[in-house]
Amino acid sequence: MEEPKLDNTEESEELFEHHRIVADPKQSPIRIDKFLFNRIENVSRNKIQSAARAGNILVNESPVKPNYKIRPGDVISIVLPSPVREFEVIPEQIPFNILFEDNDILIVNKDAGIVVHPGHGNYTGTLLNALAWYFQDKGKQEDVFTSLVHRIDKDTSGALLVAKNELAQTKLGKQFFDHTIDRKYVALVWGDVEADEGTIVGHIGRNPKNRLEMFVFPDGDQGRHAITHYKVLERFGYVTLVECRLETGRTHQIRAHFRFIGHALFNDARYGGDQILKGTTFTKYRQFIQNCFKILPRQALHAQTLEFVHPGSGKPVSFFSPLPDDFSELIEKWRHYVQHRDVFQD
């Protein structure tokens, strides 16, 4: 039986993979781009050369150029984009919001409900379809898949980084792979989080009892290493507004980590946050929560900031995505609740 798939935008955020190859003791001299092209599946020689120009190919822990000649026993390390090309991307005229754009990058302010790229169940209407139309209209002929650097969930809003050429994608991908890109999210979680700040550590993998969910394996016996740092921004008694900084980028990392510590994201249906998890049995309180769910009919998670080294200038840059209207309205509703709590008691 075929394994069930997560929503295609809910795969791992990190779209780059590491290859380590040791040259044979009898290896004859050959250019490293040709050597790797013959050993790594589904990758072009041009992409390998771009990786070398970006400093993503190391031989014996030192970066090399595409014309480097392999020697016997060389230890080669290379970071390349993971293959995500499962479906043809049809250009579609779909509007999307742009926070910033230059010759190398584009920062999209993604709305909640938008799938990032085509996959099972979402063949059209995705952000990648919109980007294909946008780049085509701008006269950009390069493969639209070279724009992908990372992903965020369909129902998560906020800043998404897009590369506009293969070299930019490769340089940015290495930063994601090395965890040097600073990503901060804002989340509303159930319960009064005890510590003002903290770190959640726990391997994340598919839940063996529900393959559509991710699960935290605290002993590290399964899944992939994951670290989420958080600090409390505001407390509302039954829920807490937190800022999350990702040290790693795993599938549903924030959502799975906070459920693991007993603070599921507000209205996160997949992880149980769409129930009244904390509070009272008062009728008016229950109605208040249902009204909150209507205001924000998704998990309360927003990708707010991105900080990284620009692939063209080599200088640090920072981008900020303000909270969308539904999230802001939800926070204001909770502030009003805290100030008039007695009104919600029978």
Query: What's the pTM?
Result: 0.83
Say which of 74, 104, 153, 268 is annotated catalytic.
153
Interval 176-199: pLDDT, tens: 888 899 999 999 999 999 999 999
pLDDT band at 50; cut points 50, 70, 90 = confident
pLDDT of residue 3 exceeding 50, the answer is: no
Residue-level pLDDT at 10: 41
HSE (CB half, 13 Å, CA atoms) of 249? 26
Say if 97-178 and 183-302+325-344 have the same CATH topology: yes
Domains of the chain, residue spans: 8-81, 97-178, 183-302+325-344
Distances (CA, A) of 132 to 98, 136, 139: 15, 6, 11
Q: Is the pLDDT of residue 317 over 70?
A: yes
DSSP codes, 164-182: SSHHHHHHHHHHHHTT-SE
Residues 6+ apart with CB under 8 A from 158: 109, 110, 152, 185, 302, 303, 304, 321
Report yes or no: 100 and 155 within 8 Å, Cβ to Cβ: no
Mean pLDDT of the chain: 88
> What is the architecture of the domain spanning 8-81?
Roll (3.10)
Q: State the average pLDDT over residues 281-310.
A: 95
**Calpha distance 46→208 (Å, rounded):** 40
Please compute, for residue 305, the number of CA atoms within 13 A of its CA located in the half-sphere on the CB side: 12
Whether the pLDDT of residue 344 is over 80: the answer is no
Contact 132, 144 (CB under 8 A): yes
Is residue 169 within 8 Å of residue 149, measured between CB atoms? yes
- Architecture of domain 97-178 in this structure: 2-Layer Sandwich (3.30)
Q: What is the CATH number of domain 183-302+325-344?
A: 3.30.2350.10
Q: Given this model, what pLDDT does residue 14 score?
A: 57
Is a pLDDT exceeding 80 seen at residue 145? no
Closest C-alpha among 171, 147, 177, 190 to residue 309 = 171
Is 102 an annotated catalytic residue? no
CA 120/CA 325 separation, integer angstroms: 30
Residue 6, pLDDT score:
46
Kindly tell me if the per-residue pLDDT of 255 is higher than 90: yes
How large is the C-alpha radius of gyration of the chain? 22
